[in-house]
Amino acid sequence: MTAARDVVVVGGGPAGTAASVFLRQQGFDVLLLDAARFPRDKICGEGVSPEAWRLLAAMGARDDVAGLGPHALRGMRVVAPDGTAFEGSYRRGGQVLSGFALRRSRLDTTLLGVARRVGVEVREGARVDGVVESAGHVVGVRLESGETVPARWVLGCDGRWGVSARAVGGLQPARRFRRFALRMHLHGVAELSDVGEMHVGRGGYCGIAPLPGDEANVAFVLDASAFRRAAGRLEAFARETLEDRFPAVAARTRETRASAPPRAIGPLAVAVRRRARPGLMLLGDAAGFHDPFTGEGVTLALRSGEIAAGPVGDALRGRSSPQTAAATYEDEYRRATRDKFRLNRLLQAVVALPALANAVARRLRDRPRTCDELVGIAGDFVPARRALGPRFVLELLRPPR
């Protein structure tokens, strides 16, 4: 019987690499397993919020990511179905912040390299197919190859619908907003700038993120029913859908060349009732996924690694029981995400009603400070509760200054 590792991390996306690095920084022995071989693709809008820079710096990865030359994003522009647009900048007090856009294959491979550099043992091509349990505790993982790896803690960072989330239980498709997503990488999109774009159209929305070089990420999210015409003809479906539902985006992408075939996934939203049990915590998308409209996924994945490292470290040092560690993580994760998820649901409801989306956009167009505040929330450095209180609603109702 091999000795138990302190921590086994399942999945080497942003959640898995962040958790590995933060625990390694505390001196623990960490093994990271990923089914894929890197660089691997991940369907994503690839716009990352400014708050990610703080987390990357804490991981010692800031210079590595900056060295990839990501496209700096200074804010967001939202276009309503009737063409009304509003734009906000990432601004905190007098300070101008920036997010960035970068191919996930490059970002994730770099973060995995950082994990290796600080002493995390990384095994690629290692698919986990279940956890090992003893007396109600998770005590290791089982690989598809048949090998088992004993561990004092397992961190499930294997994304939506992963084996880790199934091992915690209570996983179900979200009841409302059953949406699918399609992502394209295109060369030659017209009128790109230094903001991320969100175009609200019939039945969903389409994001544009300018990537380094002459490339852009164009991704749309629509109700599952819209994807019935997609089977076996994704590229044609993608172009037709832009013409039909997002004509302003279509006009800017007609002359483009795809650098890779489009990819689609869904249903997107997964509700997770519990995120931890003794010996196992769920991080990143494995901890539940709502909707990419407010674009927090990568930052939240990194942040969940930072949150988990506290209680896992305490438990490994014998300062708390596995039960306490699991409850602490559950609590802190909920506190960190509750308001943003609530706002996200509210925005999804607005997006689903074109007349309401147009009216809200017209209100916001003439209120630059409110736009900055909203974009700051999307950027994860302004608390989301600011947009949930009566003050914000009143601000939208009063005549513009």
Residues that bind ligand FAD (CB under 6 A): 10-16, 33-36, 40, 42-48, 127-128, 157-159, 162-163, 181, 183, 219, 221, 265, 268, 284-286, 292, 295-299, 301
Minimum CB distance to ligand FAD, residue 308 (Å): 12
Query: Could you tell me the smallest distance in angstroms from the CB atom of residue 216 to ligand FAD?
Result: 12
Which is nearer to ligand FAD, 304 or 367 (by Cβ)? 304
Please compute Rg for the chain using Cα positions.
21
Q: In angstroms, what is the minimal distance from the CB of 396 to ligand FAD?
A: 25
Which residue's CB is nearer to ligand FAD, number 137 or number 179?
179
As to burial, measured by CB atoms within 10 angstroms (0-12 exposed, 13-18 middle, 19+ buried), residue 217 is buried
Nearer to ligand FAD, 129 or 366 (CB): 129
Q: Cis omega (within 30 of 0) on the bond before 212?
A: no
Output the smallest distance, CB 46 to ligand FAD, in A. Answer: 6
Q: The dihedral of CA 378, 383, 388, 394: what is its sign?
A: negative
Q: Which is nearer to ligand FAD, 184 or 367 (CB)?
A: 184
Nearer to ligand FAD, 78 or 286 (CB): 286
| CB-CB neighbours of 11 under 10 Å | 28
Q: Closest CB to ligand FAD among 256 and 299?
A: 299
Shortest Å, Cβ 401 to ligand FAD: 32
| Min dist. Cβ of residue 109 to ligand FAD (A) | 10
When the beta carbons of 10 and 122 are compared against ligand FAD, the nearer one is 10
Q: What are phi and psi of 154, to 5 degrees?
A: -115, 130
Distances (CA, A) of 314 to 26, 120, 194, 280, 376: 10, 19, 42, 14, 33
CB-based burial label for 89 (10 Å; 0-12, 13-18, 19+): middle
Q: What's the per-residue H, E or C state across 165-220? A: HHHHCCEEECCCCCEEEEEEEEECCCCCCCEEEEEEECCEEEEEEECCCCEEEEEE
Closest C-alpha among 391, 316, 376 to residue 340: 376
HSE-CB for 192 with a 13 A CA cutoff: 22
The rounded distance, in Å, linking the Cα atoms of 88 and 382 is 13
Specify the residue for token string 């302004």.
382
Least gap, CB of 321 to ligand FAD (angstroms): 26
